[in-house]
């Protein structure tokens, strides 16, 4: 029998929560999922379904054609889970009242009373929660250098280490050290064993092919759970004999732009594969990303609810405080008003986030945005530089900071940052489109401004029809502009009474404000304020 009839089910759930809260399990996403799944299924009366195939497809996200006779991945992780549980009960769990074990050759857990008379410190919750580390884990395998000459091997080795170091600057992902991958390569022969041993979600592999003058570097990003290649790119460097790949920072920036950040491939793949369960940081990030994609009032409240749930569990989470601050401060751009001083609340929350973690890049971006809304250009420029300095390779932030530079009237600096962001990663944040529109409006290039205004593509956002109408009218297309004005008035019936305050909410350059308003007047809006 797998469940001791004398053990209350709630106590078993509490015991699992206690185990998953320990450092050793928090650092192993796969083993935490494994334990959570087999305990939940057993308590729900589904223990007979706990076979290799079911665990492989439901826990390890293997494809439906998984064959346990050809792939020992479930047995490998089951053995690791047994060893980790044994270690837990020798160390952290020696005084726990309930012991959970998994017999060899089976996957149905056994629950027994732990023989101890020592007092127990309970630190779990009332329910069994999916307390799994929220950060995807990534490793960079040492380079495979073809036509190996010593110089190419050295350059590729340094590049590998630099990519690994650059990835560690993304706080939202966990990176396996280069040393650990080297040890795994020395001890294990095949890639499946290496990835299982490292307990990773994503793998970066790089190959170098060289002759006497040229070198080609090929970088690939693999999703371990989906068992597929999700991104690859090759870089050619010519005449490198005298100065071996002196500009390989181009490679690093390209890799970082595509892999890192909440809009990078790792997070896009993780969040698109399945919606996170439980109340954790990944759950909040999922809804925060969805809010940014839709930027609607409905998405706002969905994200706010997820963030508040996370803050109830951990009120001192710097990232979640920064997320909530951002939502409140964005209400000004969304033209949503209420009885609460959301601007003041948002400003206080982002200051709290920075007080909790000065290296929180997202918090510095939100703080920069708060300074724009306060029309404090000097403080915006200072906070923007602090944001960029934390991780200049994170194009999600450099692009958004570039948009802020446009709002602040620093047009060429903004153009440089935004252009680099979209060149490195085509999946850029949509507010960059507004930034480009501001740039071309400020330079009186109305045709180009309209093209970028169309790319905003957020029909429920006031600034979408606002910029399209103004650009069209400045182009002399007043009839088309008048049609767009109808969309604008539908979103904001009293827009004419508040035009100047809306346009001047976060645009600091008076000349740009006047250009936009002039276009709106030409489009048929009787500006009254």
pLDDT digits (tens, 9 = 90+) for 30-40: 888 899 999 98
CA angle, 412 as apex, 409 and 416 as ends, to 5°? 125
- 3 vs 329 pLDDT, higher one: 329
Residue 46 scores a pLDDT above 60: yes
| More confident of the two residues 200 and 479 | 479
Query: What is residue 1's predicted lDDT score, i.e. its pLDDT?
Result: 36
The strand pairing partners of 215, in sequence order, are 210, 237
Read off the pLDDT of each residue in 212-232 and give the average, rounded to a whole number: 84
Contact 401, 369 (CB under 8 A): no
Structure tokens at 69: 């006779």
Q: Where are the beta strands (DSSP E) in 192-299?
A: 202-210, 215-223, 228-237
What is the gyration radius of the CA atoms in the chain, in angstroms?
Answer: 27
Residue keyed to tokens 């665990």: 55
Which pLDDT belongs to residue 17? 83
Q: What is the pLDDT of residue 276?
A: 62
Q: What is the DSSP letter of 111?
A: E
Q: Write out pLDDT tens, residues 464-478.
A: 999 999 999 999 999
pLDDT in tens, 259-308: 888 878 888 887 776 566 555 677 788 888 888 888 888 889 999 998 99
C-alpha span between 272 and 381 (Å, rounded): 35
Q: How confident is the model at residue 59 (pLDDT cuts 50, 70, 90)?
A: confident
DSSP assignment string, 286-302? HHHHHHHHH-SHHHHHH
List beta partners, residue 98.
Answer: 113
pLDDT band at 516; cut points 50, 70, 90: very high
| Dist. CA 524–CA 485, nearest whole Å | 8
pLDDT of 437 strictly over 90: yes
Query: What number of residues does the chain have?
Result: 529
User: 211 falls in which pLDDT band (50, 70, 90)?
Assistant: confident
What fold is seen in the domain 137-250? Answer: Rossmann fold (3.40.50)
Helix 463-474 to helix 446-456 angle, to the nearest 10 degrees?
160
**The two three-digit tokens of residue 96, written as one number:** 């726990």
Residue 6 pLDDT class (50, 70, 90 cuts): low
Kindly tell me if the per-residue pLDDT of 135 is higher than 50: yes
Stronger pLDDT, 143 or 175, i.e. the higher one: 175
Q: Provide the pLDDT for residue 253.
A: 87
Note the pLDDT of residue 27.
67
Query: In the predicted model, is pLDDT for residue 247 greater than 80?
Result: no
Domain boundaries, the chain: 9-113, 137-250, 430-529
As a whole number, mean pLDDT of residues 173-188 equals: 77
Confidence at 397, pLDDT banded by 50, 70, 90? very high
Q: How far is CA 287 from CA 89, 271, 369, 394, 461, in A?
A: 37, 10, 20, 20, 19
As a whole number of angstroms, the distance between CA 72 and CA 204 comes to 23
**Could you give the CA distance from residue 64 to residue 60 in angstroms, rounded to a whole number?**
11
pLDDT greater than 70 at residue 115: no
Contact 468, 447 (CB under 8 A): no
Convert the pLDDT of each residue in 347-368 to its tens digit: 999 999 999 999 999 999 999 9
Q: For residue 117, is pLDDT > 50?
A: no
Mean pLDDT of 50-76: 84
- Dihedral angle computed from the Cα positions of residues 439, 444, 446 and 451, in that order, rounded to the nearest 10 degrees: -20
Q: pLDDT at position 44, please?
A: 86
From the candidate CATH numbers 3.60.20.10, 1.25.40.10, 1.10.10.10, 3.40.50.300, the one assigned to the domain spanning 430-529: 1.25.40.10
Sequence-distant (6+) residues with CB within 8 A of 344 are none
In this prediction, residue 225 carries a pLDDT of 78
Instruction: Name the residue with higher pLDDT: 201 or 248.
Output: 201
Cα–Cα separations (whole angstroms), residue 252 to 64, 235, 260, 461:
36, 11, 11, 36
Please, which pLDDT band fits residue 127 given cuts at 50, 70 and 90?
very low
Which range among 14-23, 138-147, 402-411, 464-473 shows the weakest confidence by mean pLDDT? 138-147
Most confident of the ranges 44-53, 148-157, 200-209, 318-327: 318-327
pLDDT at 309 over 90: no
- DSSP H helices in 314-430: 318-334, 342-356, 361-373, 377-390, 395-407, 411-424
pLDDT score of 416: 96
pLDDT of residue 124: 37
CA triplet 376, 350, 367: central angle to 5 degrees?
30
Instruction: Please provide the average confidence, as pLDDT, over all residues in the chain.
Output: 84
Measuring CA to CA, which residue among 250, 249, 248, 245 is closest to residue 152?
245
Please count the helices (runs of H) and the strands (runs of E) in the chain.
Answer: 24, 8
């Amino acid at each position: 029998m797998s469940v001791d009839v004398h053990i209350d089910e709630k106590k078993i759930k509490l015991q699992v929560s206690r185990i998953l809260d320990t450092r050793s399990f928090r650092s192993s996403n796969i083993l935490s999922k494994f334990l959570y799944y087999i305990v939940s299924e057993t308590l729900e009366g589904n223990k007979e379904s706990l076979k290799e195939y079911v665990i492989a497809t439901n826990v390890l996200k293997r494809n439906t054609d998984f064959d346990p006779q050809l792939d020992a991945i479930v047995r490998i992780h089951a053995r690791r889970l047994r060893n980790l549980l044994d270690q837990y009960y020798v160390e952290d769990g020696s005084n726990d009242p309930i012991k959970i074990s998994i017999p060899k050759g089976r996957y149905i857990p056994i629950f027994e009373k732990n023989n101890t008379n020592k007092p127990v410190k309970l630190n779990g919750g009332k329910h069994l929660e999916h307390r799994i580390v929220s950060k995807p884990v990534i490793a960079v395998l040492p380079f495979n250098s073809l036509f190996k000459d010593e110089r190419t091997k050295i350059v590729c080795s340094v590049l590998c280490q630099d990519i690994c170091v650059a990835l560690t600057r993304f706080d939202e992902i966990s990176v396996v050290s280069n040393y650990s991958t080297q040890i795994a390569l020395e001890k294990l022969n095949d890639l499946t064993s290496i990835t299982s041993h490292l307990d990773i979600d994503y793998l970066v592999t790089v190959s170098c092919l060289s002759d006497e003058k040229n070198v080609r570097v090929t970088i690939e990003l693999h999703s371990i759970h989906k068992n597929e290649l999700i991104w690859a790119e090759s870089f050619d460097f010519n005449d490198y004999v005298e100065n071996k790949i002196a500009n390989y920072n181009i490679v690093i920036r390209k890799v970082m732009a595509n892999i890192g950040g909440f809009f990078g491939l790792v997070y896009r793949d993780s969040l698109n594969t399945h919606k996170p369960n439980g109340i954790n940081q990944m759950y909040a990030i999922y809804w925060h990303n969805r809010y940014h994609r839709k930027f609607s009032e409905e998405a706002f409240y969905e994200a706010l609810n997820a963030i508040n749930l996370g803050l109830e569990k951990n009120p001192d989470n710097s990232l979640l405080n920064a997320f909530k601050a951002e939502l409140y401060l964005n209400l000004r751009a969304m033209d949503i008003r209420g009885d609460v001083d959301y601007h003041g609340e948002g400003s206080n929350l982002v200051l709290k986030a920075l007080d909790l973690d000065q290296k929180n890049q997202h918090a510095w971006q939100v703080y920069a945005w708060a300074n724009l809304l306060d029309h404090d250009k000097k403080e915006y420029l200072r906070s923007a530089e602090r944001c960029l300095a934390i991780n200049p390779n994170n194009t999600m932030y450099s692009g958004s900071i570039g948009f802020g530079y446009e709002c602040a009237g620093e047009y060429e600096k903004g153009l440089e940052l935004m252009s680099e962001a979209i060149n490195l990663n085509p999946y850029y944040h949509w507010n960059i489109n507004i930034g480009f529109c501001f740039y071309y409006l400020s330079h009186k290039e109305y045709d180009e401004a309209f093209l970028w205004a169309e790319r905003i593509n957020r029909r429920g956002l006031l600034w979408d029809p606002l910029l399209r109408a103004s650009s069209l009218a400045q182009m002399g297309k007043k009839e088309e502009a008048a049609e767009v004005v109808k969309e604008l008035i539908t979103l904001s019936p009293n827009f004419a009474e508040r035009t100047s305050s809306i346009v001047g909410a976060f645009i600091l350059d008076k000349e740009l404000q006047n250009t936009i308003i002039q276009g709106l007047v030409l489009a048929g809006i009787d500006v009254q304020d």
